A and B are shown apart, each in its own frame.
Chain A
Amino acid sequence: MLKRMSALLLVGATVMTMAACGSGGSGPASSGGGGGDTLTMGFSQVGAESGWRTANTKSVQDSAKAAGIELKFSDAQQKQENQIKAIRSFIQQKVDVIAFSPVVESGWDTVLKEAKNANIPVILTDRAVDSADTSLYKTFLGSDFVAEGKKAGQWLVEEYKDSTETVNIVELQGTTGSAPANDRKAGFAEVIGADPKFKVIASQTGDFTRAKGKEVMEAFLKSNPDIDVLYAHNDDMGLGAIEAIEGAGKVPGKDIKIITVDAVKDGMQALADGKINYIVECSPLLGPQLMDLAKKVAAGEQVPTRVETEETTFTQEQAKQALPSRQY
Chain B
Amino acid sequence: MTAPTGDAPVTSPPRNPRAGRPAAALRHRLFWPALVLALLLLANLLFTPGFLSVEMKDGHLYGSLIDIFRFGAPLILVATGMTLVIATGGIDLSVGSVVAISGALSCLWVSGLADQQSAGGVLAAVGLALGLSLALGVWNGFLVSGIGIQPIIATLILMVAGRGLAQLITDGQIVTVNSDPYKLIGGGYWLTLPFGVLIAAAVLAVTAFLTRRLALGLLIESVGGNATASRLAGLRSRGLIVTVYAFCALCAGIAGLMISSNVSSADGNNAGLWIELDAILAVVIGGTSLAGGRFSLGGTVIGALIIQTLTTTIYSIGIPPETTLLFKALVVTVVCLLQSAAFREKAFHLRRRRPGAAPASADEKVRVPA
Contacts and interface: CB of A to CB of B under 8 A. Distances in A.
Interface of A: 1, 3-4, 47-51, 53-54, 173, 176-177, 202-205, 207, 209-211, 214-216, 218-220, 222-223, 236, 239-240, 243, 247-249, 266
28 contacts: A4-B269, A47-B172, A49-B167, A50-B172, A50-B173, A51-B173, A51-B174, A53-B172, A176-B322, A177-B322, A202-B315, A202-B318, A203-B320, A210-B174, A210-B265, A211-B263, A215-B311, A215-B315, A219-B64, A219-B67, A223-B47, A223-B315, A223-B316, A223-B318, A240-B263, A243-B187, A247-B62, A266-B265
A18 B316 CA distance: 43
B315 A249 contact: no
Contacts of B318: 202-204, 223
A76 to B, nearest CB: 14
Contacts of B324: 176, 205
Contacts of A248: 57, 62
A268 to B, nearest CB: 12
Contacts of B270: 3-4, 207, 209, 211
B116 interface: no
A260 to B, nearest CB: 14
Given A48-B167, A222-B63, A204 B317 contact: no
Contacts of B35: none
A55 B265 CA distance: 19
B60 to A, nearest CB: 9
B314 interface: yes
A97 B62 CA distance: 58
A10 to B, nearest CB: 13
Given A49-B269, A204-B318, A211 B64 contact: no
A318 B362 CA distance: 80
Interface in B262-291: 262-265, 267, 269-271, 273
Contact of A50 (B58, B62, B174): B174
B243 to A, nearest CB: 30
Contact of A223 (B269, B271, B317, B320): B317
B172 A54 contact: yes
Contacts of B273: 1
Contacts of B71: 215, 218
A205 B328 CA distance: 15
B321 interface: yes
Interface of B: 47-48, 50-51, 57-58, 62-64, 67, 71, 167, 171-174, 176, 187, 259, 262-265, 267, 269-271, 273, 311-312, 314-318, 320-322, 324
A204 B314 contact: yes
A283 to B, nearest CB: 17
Given A204-B318, A219-B316, 8 more contacts: A1-B273, A4-B269, A47-B172, A176-B322, A204-B315, A223-B51, A239-B265, A249-B58
A310 B58 CA distance: 44
Nearest to B315: A219
Contacts of A243: 187, 262-264
A209 B259 CA distance: 12
Contacts of A219: 64, 67, 312, 315-316
Contacts of A218: 67, 71
B321 A176 contact: yes
A243 B324 CA distance: 24
Contact of A220 (B311, B315, B321): B315
Contacts of A202: 315, 318
B262 A211 contact: yes
B45 to A, nearest CB: 12
Contact of B174 (A223, A236, A247): A236
B61 to A, nearest CB: 11
Nearest to B312: A219
A47 B164 CA distance: 11
Query: Considering the complex of A and B, which 6 residue pairs feature the smallest CB-CB distances, nearest first?
Result: A219-B315, A48-B172, A205-B321, A210-B263, A223-B316, A176-B321
A248 B63 CA distance: 9
B173 A214 contact: no
B267 A211 contact: yes
Nearest to B187: A243
